[in-house]
Structure 1
Amino acid sequence: MTANDTAAETFVQDWQDWHQRHEAVRADEHGFLAVTGLYWLTSEPQRVPGAPGEWSTGVEGVAVTLDAGEELVVDGRVVRDRYVFGVIPERGGINAVWGDAVIEVAKRGGNDIVRPRHPDHPLRVKYAGTPVFAPDPRWVVTGHYVPFDHPRPTTVGAAVEGLEHIYHAPGRIEFELDGQALSLTAFAGGSPGSLTVLFTDLTSGVTTYADNRVLKLGAPASDASLVLDFNRAVNLPCAYTDYATCPLPPAENRLPIAIEAGEKIPYERA
């Protein structure tokens, strides 16, 4: 076996290990595949299917009034009667445990919502994995990070019609692929210095999910370089369930080439 053969095997194995971990997170018993509904709260108390009590929101934030004999576990503490979750920040959330279910209380697009998550939801129970393109090193490119002078407030649409998200974009990533100079506006990632890009391309709506895919990136190096591995482009929850409020890519992130890498349209949407 040559050094090139060994490198190719290592590349594929690393991708397979990564994607197996990613699928395990997606299929978690309280992951997005377990969500049974999306409910928008108002000042009028309402029953939420798949959750106990009556739910509302107001100046004090989200509150629930539980019936006699009902209880939730919030931050390890059993709560009964009326419980106030308080004002939840945008893109924040609290998970309340109810038996083997989790009741997610969150804020998206300025709206307070409740999403029950039940492990026995058929979407999760029947989940058989997501189809993917075969990993290929040609889709691994080195880009250059160009920070903005100040983070730019960027308004994007959402999977839910009429909803908008506002993100602060710290910069853009410039790269070349198939002989074309391209760039992507980046949002902050989940860890310090890391970045996230939402994008569509010419495969969107054909072999990949129409609305969006996401690529998570590490922090740029000291010379502002960073690696984009499109083999690790994945679907957001809205590709599987109508109960997600996922953001859409900014207009400038619609790539004019076909990125035949990463995850394809889920079987659930085919």
Structure 2
Amino acid sequence: MDSPPEADLSTDELFARTLQGDEEDAGAWRAIWQLHHRGGEDVFQRAAAWLQSSSAKERGRGANVLAQLDFRNRSPELVARFTDALLPALAKEQDAAVLEAMAAALGHLGDPRAVPALLPLKDHPDAHVRFGVVMGLSGHRDAQALQALIHLSRDFDETVREWATFTLGSQAREVDTLELREALVERLSEDHPKIRGEALLGLALRKDARALEPLRRVLEEGVVTTLDVEAAQALEDVSLLPPLRELRESVNEEDDDPEFRAVLFEAIHVLESLSR
């Protein structure tokens, strides 16, 4: 017999279902999303209680539920209340998977009190925790958060570096400091196309001329990603039109990514309009 849809389950049944499978189990996450939508005091109390459980999985799922609980109508008072539940739990947590979940939950909540709580974890030996710290700090723009993200953009783990560079380059595009730009320039030597692309785009959005020649080399000789093409458009340097046009000639409409083609054609259109 098929399982009933999540919306028909009781709150008890939904919490039980969040524990099925591994951390990425699709059914568990559907139950978590249903709890987010259901919201209310009962869901909050159960999730907060799970933060104190002897089971690491329950503690992690409690954080997953609190992350976006009542997200459609979440007042500052609710954000503060959910953060009040998470911060003391984070301070005593030792399990890496739970630390990652709690850090990411704090990122969803956006309470500035999360910043000093997360800073001690930026050098945690587990890369998953450091990734959680990036997620937790991604919405903050104060000096401490940005300094930690710059530090994490130099992390030896590629995923941590990629997301920290993305946060600094694109998400925090309204921030423009010398130190932030230098951190992005450091990532131009990356072999990883996405990390390099995030750095190029971040510099291009700030109209930093140091992006031009590395970007030209990528367009002419390298593995070109959507990020590189977006960077060419953002930099608004018409000298990039020739390699972009050559790239357009090599695109196979049947085999290539339609999103890549759309971004490429848009970049060419924008630069051609600037050259007129």
**Common fold, TM-score beyond 0.5?**
no
- What TM-score does the superposition give when structure 2 sets the normalisation length? 0.22
Higher strand share: 1
Greater relative contact order (Cα 8 A, min sep 6): structure 1 or 2?
Answer: 1
- What TM-score does the superposition give when structure 1 sets the normalisation length? 0.23
Higher helix share: 2
